[in-house]
Amino acid sequence: MLEASNGADALALAASYPGSIDLLLSDVVLPGMRGPEISRSLVAVRPGVRTLYCSGFLGDTAETDASIAAAAFLAKPYSRETLGRAVRAVLDDAR
């Protein structure tokens, strides 16, 4: 598991990581760079990466960003079990 505190760090970490990356778990609303921006940038250099968005607040974001509406989404708060099932579903859907 790789962990980053913001979008720029996540993209830098992904660029330097030699292994495969199967899934991006990202909050939708982040300072500096939103989740969909991170996902698009990551998928551009690592095709096949799946994205699971999470958020406690979306407001009108889902309606204005088709990439969020079309992606897997997990509402906060969630349990470890719910997160695990969502991750498994996204990875199984990738096959």
Tell me how many domains the chain contains: 1
Q: Are strands 50-55 and 72-75 parallel, antiparallel or unpaired?
A: parallel
Q: Is residue 57 part of a domain?
A: yes
Positions in the chain whose pLDDT score sits under 70: 58-67, 69-70, 94-95
H-run or E-run covering 27? strand 23-27
Q: Is residue 2 part of a domain?
A: no
Which residue segment(s) compose the domain that 79 sits in? 7-93
CATH of the domain at 26: 3.40.50.2300
Q: Is residue 16 part of a domain?
A: yes
Q: What is the pLDDT of residue 70?
A: 65
pTM score, two decimals?
Answer: 0.85
Residue 73: what are its φ and ψ, rounded to 5°? Answer: -140, 140
Residue type, 23: L
